[in-house]
A and B are shown apart, each in its own frame.
Chain A
Amino acid sequence: MDGNRRYAKKQNLKEGVGHNVGFSALMSLLQYCYELGVQYVTVYAFSIDNFKRRPEEVESLMDLMQEKIDKLIEEESIVDRYGIRICFIGNLKLLKDSVREAAERAMRATAKNSKSVLSVCIAYTSTDEITHAVQESCREKLDAIEQADSHNQEEGNNLLINLVDIEKKMYMVAAPDPDIIIRTSGETRLSNFLLWQSACSHLYSPSALWPDLGFWHLVWAVLNFQRDHWFFEKIKKQI
């Protein structure tokens, strides 16, 4: 969701206002996605790299996120209408307490929804996700060895950590690999977003800034994905 600050500059708005407009754009786009029948949508709301921004900007972004998270779980919001289960993906311990608590509230409130899933990546980077998954799979292996020892069982020298063990510990384990990844503002890099999960994803980089992204951009992304669908299926079989 890149381009909120540039949008505010372009429209001569105060810097923080760009993020508010960006949130409205997100709500519209989510509606189009769920109406189109897309079941899993993942958004990159705040990167661990974004903590390097000016403290005032980080603080105002945190406040905005907390406000919007609480609004999302109100009655008759988009979450209710489309039966959306919200997951917050990332190193949530890096967030300030009030934001983390709001995120946990939202996850609890929507846990029973089952029609579609919205994964919000917050305090997230792919490399942090991979590091966390490696760490957790090592801890799990350590526990398994200790349990085998305490029951005097032969562990079978199974000290190997498999790829499957690591993938089970990824933050994004609840959602399948994305079919399409959209990066706005004409930037062609992924900026540490879903690097592990995007091997077979169609990468689309519209030049539109995030608040300008609309229905027709989504349609164009889907049409291009459909054109190359045969190729993506072929790649999935190879990998």
Chain B
Amino acid sequence: MENGSVLQEVKLLNDPQLNPRRCSQVITMLLYMLNQGEAFSKIGKLGLLLLWHFVHFVVSIWYFAVGIAYMLESYLVASGAFKEYKTHDIAKLQYLAIVIESGEAYETSKVITLLKWLAAIGVKHICLYDTEGVLKKSKETILENSNATFWEGLDKRSSLLDQKLMTIEFASFSDGKEAVAKAANLLFVNHLKLGGDLMAPIFTERNITDALRAIGCKGPDPDLLLVYGPARCHLGFPAWRMRYTEIVHMGTLKSMKFGSLVKAIHKYTMVHQNYGR
């Protein structure tokens, strides 16, 4: 007797047209199952599933309440109600990365608004990242409307602090793992050229950094990475650049707020890192 099919039959007991003889057969089978203790495990599983849904419902209520609290806090921060958020050492934030979920990256107007807010706060150098390269495709529109220039990399004479205009770098998933594969090929070819086919190659982290720069991945390691998306996840931002980057989840781009941005940047300027010591 198949337990699943018995339980299917039980559902049909609701049918007013049901044959009484069939009804008593189903009830007999159900009693047999109850006797064997198997129905309880099914009912038990159903009970656990309901409990799981209930727990998640409570968690959703919690996040709804937290969302309202964050919204209020953000309005207060934006209106200057908190003295501690009025000043911060913005020079500490030399390079900021923004990770946007690709679905939301199509909202170019929201991205431009975000960049204008960052300019108002005093952020100079930004890397915009999304997995699928949607932001790369809207590069011209974004640069035009946010009065910024394209990040070309630094030359030896200047530092990040010297730059006057806001610069924006555009990155996508292919600048991460695939870039490392290209860098590996460059290192391999160079090793062969140096007559190294008789020796096993020995590479250092410096070699990888230099190879990545040579193939065009010149962006520095961001100090802070803000994630705009449903979950706290860096979505494949180039691994090589994220060693000590602070990662903060800002919620979805749809719900972005100026006050939350100010708070996140202010909190970053208060962080102290040991770098392993």
Taking Cβ atoms with an 8 Å cutoff, the residues of A that contact B are 47-50, 52-53, 125-128, 130-131, 134-135, 137-139, 141-142, 145-146, 159-163, 166, 188-192, 195-196, 198-204, 223-224, 226-228, 231-232, 235, 238-239
Q: How far is the CA of A47 from the CA of B242 in the complex (A)?
A: 15
17 inter-chain pairs at a CB distance below 8 angstroms, sorted by A residue, are A52-B276, A52-B277, A53-B276, A130-B239, A135-B201, A135-B202, A159-B188, A163-B177, A163-B181, A189-B246, A195-B239, A195-B243, A199-B173, A228-B231, A231-B229, A238-B131, A239-B131
Instruction: Please list the 3 inter-chain residue pairs (A to B) with the smallest Cβ-Cβ separation, ordered nearest first.
Output: A49-B276, A199-B236, A195-B239
Given known contacts A131-B204, A131-B208, A201-B233, is B276 in contact with A47 (CB within 8 Å)?
yes
Q: Kindly supply a per-residue 1/0 record for chain B positions 205-248, scoring 1 wherever the CB is within 8 Å of any chain A CB and 0 otherwise.
A: 10110000000000000000000011111111001101111111
Q: Are A127 and B236 in contact, CB atoms less than 8 angstroms apart?
A: no
Q: Are B232 and A195 in contact, CB atoms less than 8 angstroms apart?
A: no
Q: Are A135 and B203 in contact, CB atoms less than 8 angstroms apart?
A: yes
**CB-CB < 8 A to B131: which residues of A?**
235, 238-239
Distance (whole angstroms) from the CB of B160 to the closest CB of chain A: 20
Interfacial residues of chain B within 34-87, with CB under 8 A of chain A in the complex: 55-56, 59-60
Cβ-defined partner of A232 (8 Å) among B201, B231, B249, B277: B231
| Given pairs A163-B178, A190-B247, A204-B232, 18 additional interface contacts (CB within 8 A) | A48-B276, A130-B180, A134-B203, A138-B203, A139-B200, A142-B201, A159-B188, A160-B185, A163-B177, A166-B181, A189-B245, A190-B242, A190-B243, A199-B173, A227-B60, A228-B230, A231-B231, A239-B131
Cβ-defined partner of B275 (8 Å) among A49, A130, A160: A49
Q: Are B181 and A203 in contact, CB atoms less than 8 angstroms apart?
A: no
Q: How far is the CA of A238 from the CA of B173 in the complex (A)?
A: 10
Q: How far is the CA of A145 from the CA of B189 in the complex (A)?
A: 13
* B232 to A, closest residue via Cβ: A203
Distance (whole angstroms) from the CB of A173 to the closest CB of chain B: 14
Q: Are A161 and B245 in contact, CB atoms less than 8 angstroms apart?
A: no
Q: How far is the CA of A224 from the CA of B60 in the complex (A)?
A: 10
